[in-house]
Amino acid sequence: DLKDKEAAEVLAEAIANPEYELIQTSLVAACWQNDLSYGKHITTFVDVVVSGDYSAAIEAFTVIEEAVGDLKQEERTALVRSLKSKLKQVDEQKKALFVELVKATETY
């Protein structure tokens, strides 16, 4: 059951597992659709934005945007620092999306 709280852990692990790369976009989409909290897995979704394909990155952006509200202020500040440090790793196709993610996280 994807709405079970334990599903968040299972989905986050699957998303981080290269074995499931071909279905990563679908797995990430399932995360924002099931309304569970992914705050403690936010770095997994940042990694998808940085290294995943464009459609997976868009889905991960949505999960991060929803999860930011679950973070404490100091965690959000650390997330913004982490995002800014990864900007050079993002390919040109996703750069605008990534910059928007930084802005959304900063202004939450």
Query: 3-state DSSP helix/strand/coil percent for the chain, to nearest 5?
Result: 80, 0, 20
22 — pLDDT class (breaks 50, 70, 90): very high
Q: Residue 29 in 3-state DSSP?
A: helix
Please state the pTM of the whole predicted model: 0.94
Q: Which residues contact 105 (CB under 8 A, 6 or more apart)?
A: 64, 68, 76, 79, 80, 83
- Residue-wise pLDDT for 54-94, tens only, equals 999 999 999 999 999 999 999 999 999 999 999 999 999 99
Q: Is the pLDDT of residue 35 over 80?
A: yes
Half-sphere exposure of 26 (CA within 13 A, CB side): 4
Q: Which residues contact 27 (CB under 8 A, 6 or more apart)?
A: 11, 14, 15, 20
